[in-house]
Amino acid sequence: MDTRLLRTFTALAKTGSFTAAAAELHLAQSTVTVQIRSLERELGTRLFDRLPTGALLTSTGRRLLEEAEAMLDAEARLRAAATAGNGGGTVEGQVTVGAGESLCSSRLPGVIASLRRTHPGIDVHLRAVGSAAAVEGLRQGRFDMVLLLEPEVNLADLAARPIAREPLVYLASPDHPLAGREAGWDELAGESFFVHEEGCSYSDHLVRTLLALPGARPRLTRFGSIEAARSCVAAGLGLTLLPRATVDRQLRDGVLAVVRGPEVPPVPVQLTRHRRRWVAPAARVVADEIARLVGG
């Protein structure tokens, strides 16, 4: 079987769009259509339902997707073994990493810079995503690995290992009444908070705690962007809770100030991959460098 057809099949399954799959594979959309029809004809079954909103896997397509990915993994292993057998010592390839915005902006640029010096043949693509989207993208093969800011990852198909712990800080503008002061839950309960979007473990925990306080009526605003939360707090509109690494520069410049609030434990950084998928040499190098620099 032509593995190019399987590669097109998995790309369409991941994107749900003939146009997006064509862009990812650098093919014409008509070529993607022809290849999917050829694969369906060869297998004797329909793999996708063609809908106005895109391409949706059929029940058979969902069942065969895992087998197709396994065959592509086997092909990649074969090529890697052939390269090693020919004495090729250079590791090359594309690796896609999903992580929250805070890690993408504060921790991972240094990893990419280091890899460009030591492994110029490896291209790392970062995607800023929330935890739920990161897990789904890992399952669908859009990511080789993801970094999750979660206390633990208890998902049977994923393998995770904690590589670091991110300290969290309560923040306010320098002229806020609580800036530089100790503040208990009774004071925090009356404040406005600008927090990260739902699905962010430390933000969700803060929101649950605030809402559970007797008589508390905090004003809570969710943002998909850490920068938006930082800007609102810097403007004096309220407080936030963020990883310290994302605000080091703002604290040095005096744009933000720490509020010494109730103790909050550092949140673990979980380096996570799909348990059943083969880890390519390039992905292994990237994972090791992430563990060394982020964990160090």
Give the relative orientation of helices 3-15 and 18-25 as an angle to the nearest 10 degrees: 130
Q: Based on the domain organization, do 153 and 283 belong to the same domain?
A: yes
Mean pLDDT across the chain: 89
Cα 140 to chain center, whole Å? Answer: 13
Instruction: Give the pLDDT band of residue 214 (cuts 50, 70, 90).
Output: confident
Structure tokens at 97: 């990493």
Instruction: Enumerate the H helices of the chain as residue ranges.
Output: 3-15, 18-25, 29-43, 59-85, 101-106, 108-118, 131-139, 185-188, 201-212, 226-234, 248-252, 281-295
CATH number for the domain including 131?
A: 3.40.190.10
Structure confidence by residue, pLDDT tens digits, 114-143: 999 999 999 999 998 888 888 988 887 889
pLDDT tens per residue across span 277-289 = 878 888 999 999 9
Spatial distance between the Cα atoms of 199 and 201, rounded to a whole number of angstroms: 6
Backbone angles phi, psi at 58, to 5 degrees: -75, 175
Tokens of 120: 């110029």
Judge if 184 and 254 occupy the same domain: yes
Percent of the chain at pLDDT exceeding 90: 53
Where a domain ends, among 85, 105, 138?
A: 85
Mean pLDDT of the 76-98 span? 73
pTM, entire model: 0.71
pLDDT band at 82 (very low <50, low <70, confident <90, very high): low
Do 283 and 138 lie in a common domain?
yes
Residue 164's φ and ψ, nearest 5 degrees, are: -165, 170
pLDDT, tens digit (0-9, with 9 covering 90-100), for 159-183: 999 999 999 999 999 999 999 999 9
Residues 76 and 98 in one domain: no
Range of the domain at 68: 3-85
Residues 160 and 272 in one domain: yes
Instruction: Output the pLDDT for position 101.
Output: 82
User: Using CB atoms within 10 A of its CB, is residue 175 exposed (0-12), middle (13-18) or buried (19+)?
Assistant: exposed
What's the rounded Cα separation, in Å, for the pair 183 and 174? 15
Query: Distance from first CA to last CA of the chain, Å, rounded?
Result: 45
- Specify the number of domains making up the chain: 3
Three-state DSSP at 198 gives: coil
> What's the whole-number mean pLDDT along residues 237-244?
93
